[in-house]
A and B are shown apart, each in its own frame.
Chain A
Amino acid sequence: MPLGVRAALYVALRVLAAAAVGVLLGLVFGRVWIGVAAALAAYLAWQLWLLVRLDAWLRNRRTADPPDVASGLWGDVITQVVRLHRRKRFHKDRVMRVLRELRRSTAAMPDGVVILNGENEIVWFNEKASEYLDLTRKVDYGLRIDNLVRMPEFTRYLQSGQYTLPAIIRVDPGDDRYLAFQLVSYGEGQRLLMVRDVSRRVSLEIMRKDFIANASHELRSPLTVISGYLETLASESGLPPDLAEPLAEMRRQSARMTGIIEDLLVLSRLESADGQVEGEPVDVGAMLATLRKDILARPLHPAKVELRVDSQAQLLGNETMLHSAFMNLVENAAKYTPASGSIGLRWWTDARGGHFAVSDTGPGIAAEHIPRLTERFYRVDIGRSRATGGSGLGLAIVKHALQRHGAELEIRSEEGRGSTFTCHFPATRVAQPVTRAASG
């Protein structure tokens, strides 16, 4: 311990020096011990005085200059303290600067950002978020977000636990402001809530839907006139024979166009509202029996159309929508199945809900087409689907009608073997028949 030894030597030397001065003074005045005591007391007082000054300086070292003790032990101590202090301030400044820049950049973000903890309490938010959500800085830190942002749809989104897709919510039914909310988890229980103003995008989307609905509606009346005249012309007897074939083709095409427009109208009606439809009991068994009869009544149909109704449970939903969805699925199956093939319809329920499946022995669909099948006007084979006269909107209608019922469409297919389209309805959409409940 050379340092400790040196310090001890230093202290001893100082005290001895003070004592020596005391002895000298004592010799001068003739009382040695009083001189020594006085000198030691003075030395002690001097040391304490320096200690008091150091303490005073440490208390407000931000403003005051350090005491000017250049040499000796106290000088060393003060230099050490000043150095430590400077180094600390340097690091602190740097951290503060980084933090400030981080905050400034988050604050300047065009989107609203709210940091939430595991209990949905607000930890921090930026300027935009306070503008969008009407939050007050500092005051609202620590409050639960769902106590301040109370739109029922937002509360549902927050509690749903499924944050892969953003929730687009109309702020007030009275005006056209829409916000998109997206939750992102990070760290331990921390979550980031991003808020964006999507009013413009939503209004464009609404304009697009309105345009399609209006355009289809406007196209319908002139087309009715054309079809009507074609009908009359075809029944005319004095027509030149070389016009017969073009006329027949014109009638086929105008019928097809009518079909497309009808489908567009159905689709735009399905799209015009979102959210779940109200549930009215629909007798699926009876509906499927009618659909089966319709298919068998056609001049060209698969040899076998099998119907299996395994459950008497009713489906809660909108009958018109369900009918157009089921009809499209059954028609597709019939269309793509050769006359020698067969199709099967099946309705059954289990713990997970109700299920409707249509299977056919048609050519099947290649796996790469399946994810895109429900897109509008998506064609697997352009030549063939034109020949069968589809509108290209059937499966889009199915998808939308099912969405409005909280149901999902599952497509399984094997090339050359056939395809199965299954609609899965949630259990809340299934109503067990009353008779069974009474007997059980």
Chain B
Amino acid sequence: METADLSHHISRRFNADLERVRSKVMAMGGLVEEQLAKAVAALIDGDSNLGVAVARDDYKVNDMEVSIDEECQRILATRAPTAGDLRVIVAIIKTITDLERIGDEAEKIGYIGSRLASMERPADRYREIKHLGRIVGEMLHEALDTFARMDAEAAIQVAHKDRIVDEEYEAIQRQGITFMMEDPRNISRALDVMWVVRALERIGDHAKNICEYVIYVVHGKDVRHTRLEDVERELRDRGDNR
């Protein structure tokens, strides 16, 4: 945690600026979490009003992204941060892009949810979506927790979960294909379900990205497009040598 120690900065005003932006990112994360949970709940409970509300409220997420982006640019221009502080700002700029995308996916789920609400509910009441939705929701929550705590070890653990999400996604996809082959009348709804599952899978990817930014901030190492096992081994080796 040597670089993540934000509390001992030379300039107190700079420190306050950084803390404020970080808090805004976490607030944006909270909003996105809520949007996702609401979107999934709207779909599962067949609540079209809630689905419409989620789609309508996406602008709030977008507004926050723009405002945080501006603040980051201001900090970069006026304070010219270096080393650990620079990495925090860079990670924030990347994180909000991912959060905004998650917001878009939630909007999509909300929209499809409001449309599916008027149709007959399937016998299993979208059990598989509920299950995947819970895993992805937890993953996003934990990813944001690691960001708040700047905890690289936990970030690696959370990033691992993306694999579970991918497996679930493939299983549901196979199941969907079976449904469609059984009865062509299922196709329309199965396609909608597929969109939702796809959106959830993408959210898992974005959450994993956020974890990678945390590792970047703490260890100063870009671990994108690297296998998690390699990342783990390398970070462990570095820890031993220190």
Contact = CB atoms under 8 A, between A and B. Distances in A.
Interface stretch (A146-154, A203-211, A309-317, A318-326): A146-154
B86 to A, nearest CB: 20
A142 B130 CA distance: 35
A173 B30 contact: no
Interface in A157-185: 172-174
Nearest to A154: B30
Given A139-B149, A140-B149, A144-B19, A150 B26 contact: yes
A140 B30 CA distance: 18
Contact of A150 (B38, B137, B144): B144
A144 B145 CA distance: 12
A144 B23 contact: yes
Contact of B148 (A143, A154, A172, A173): A143
A152 B41 contact: no
A214 interface: no
Given A142-B7, A144-B19, A174-B41, A152 B34 contact: yes
Q: Which of A134, A142, A174 has the most CB of B within 10 A?
A: A174
Contact of B30 (A139, A150, A174): A150
Given A142-B7, A150-B144, A152-B31, A174 B40 contact: yes
A150 B41 contact: no
Interface residues of B, number: 26
A140 B31 CA distance: 21
Given A173-B41, A174-B41, A148 B145 contact: yes
B40 to A, nearest CB: 6
A103 to B, nearest CB: 23
Contacts of B37: 172-174
B171 interface: no
B204 interface: no
Interface string B17-28: 001001100110
Contact of A151 (B34, B44, B130, B149): B34
A173 B26 contact: no
Given A142-B7, A173-B38, A174-B37, A147 B31 contact: no
Given A172-B37, A174-B134, A146 B31 contact: no
A155 interface: yes
Contact of B23 (A139, A142, A146, A154): A146
Nearest to B145: A148
A147 B23 contact: yes
B22 A147 contact: yes
Contacts of A136: 149
Tell which of B30, B34, B149 has the most Cβ of chain A within 10 Å. Answer: B30
Nearest to B34: A152
A148 B22 CA distance: 12
B133 A174 contact: yes
Contacts of A148: 26, 145, 148-149
Interface in B19-55: 19, 22-23, 26-27, 29-31, 33-34, 37-38, 40-41, 44, 50
Contacts of A146: 23, 26-27
A147 B33 CA distance: 13
Contact of A155 (B30, B40, B149, B151): B30
Which one of A134, A146, A152 has the highest number of Cβ atoms from chain B below 10 Å of its Cβ? A152
A173 B34 contact: yes
A182 to B, nearest CB: 20
A50 to B, nearest CB: 45
Interface in A72-92: none
Interface string B131-169: 001100100000011001101000000000000000000
Contacts of A172: 37, 137
Nearest to A172: B37
Contacts of A155: 27, 30
Contacts of A143: 148-149
A435 to B, nearest CB: 28
Contacts of A142: 7
Contacts of A174: 37, 40-41, 44, 130, 133-134, 137
A140 to B, nearest CB: 7
A234 to B, nearest CB: 43
Nearest to A153: B34
Interface string A98-114: 00000000000000000
Contacts of B33: 150
Contact of B27 (A134, A152, A173): A152
A326 B137 CA distance: 44
Nearest to B54: A173
A151 B144 CA distance: 12
A147 B34 contact: no
A151 B137 CA distance: 13
A285 B22 CA distance: 47
Contact of A147 (B26, B44, B151): B26
Nearest to A149: B30
20 contacts: A143-B148, A144-B19, A144-B26, A146-B26, A146-B27, A147-B22, A147-B148, A150-B26, A150-B27, A150-B144, A152-B27, A155-B30, A172-B137, A173-B34, A173-B37, A173-B38, A174-B37, A174-B40, A174-B41, A174-B130
Given A136-B149, A173-B34, 7 more contacts: A139-B149, A143-B148, A146-B27, A147-B148, A150-B26, A150-B30, A174-B134
Interface of B: 7, 19, 22-23, 26-27, 29-31, 33-34, 37-38, 40-41, 44, 50, 130, 133-134, 137, 144-145, 148-149, 151
Instruction: Name the 4 nearest CB pairs between A and B, nearest first.
Output: A150-B30, A147-B148, A147-B26, A173-B41
